[in-house]
Amino acid sequence: MIHHWLGWISFALCILLLSKYMGRTSKNKNINTLLRKIHKPIGFAVIGIGTIHGVICLFKNQRAIIQNISGLILFALVIALAGTFYARTKLKAKWIQLHRNLAIFFCIVIVIHIVLSVS
């Protein structure tokens, strides 16, 4: 049961991470500042909680192959998203576009993962 809670907590944190884009377009500068400050720590939390969720689910239900594959793709995307941030000096101006494109792909895959896991 804890793996379900960890999955939903990770999903909620991902929504908070993605809301940074909305905060950027908001007229309220305080929201934007807050979302920018918490973006990196929440990203680390998603990596940690998502990893624990994935390991528990992997051992709990080894027959859920499609869910496990979509979860591994999500894990790879989260690591790639973190990697784009840390490689931003080498990527220069391309890093933010790559980061955003990976975030869009992440959104698509997380919806697929949730639909497969809930049904």
User: Would you say 10 and 26 are in contact if contact means Cβ atoms under 8 Å apart?
Assistant: no
Residues 85-97 have pLDDT tens digits of: 888 888 888 888 8
3 state SS of 77: helix
Q: State the pTM of this model.
A: 0.85
- Measured on CA atoms in the order 73, 97, 115, 43, is the torsion positive or negative? positive
The pLDDT score that the predictor gives to residue 26 is 75
Rounded Cα gap, residues 112 and 70, in angstroms: 8
Place of tokens 């933010």: 96
Cα(29)–Cα(100) distance, integer angstroms: 21
Going by the DSSP 8-state scheme, the letter that residue 116 receives in this structure is: H
- Domain coverage including residue 8: 2-118
The domain total for the chain is 1
**Could you report the per-residue pLDDT of 64-115, keeping only the tens digit for each?**
788 889 999 999 999 999 999 888 888 888 888 899 899 999 999 999 999 9
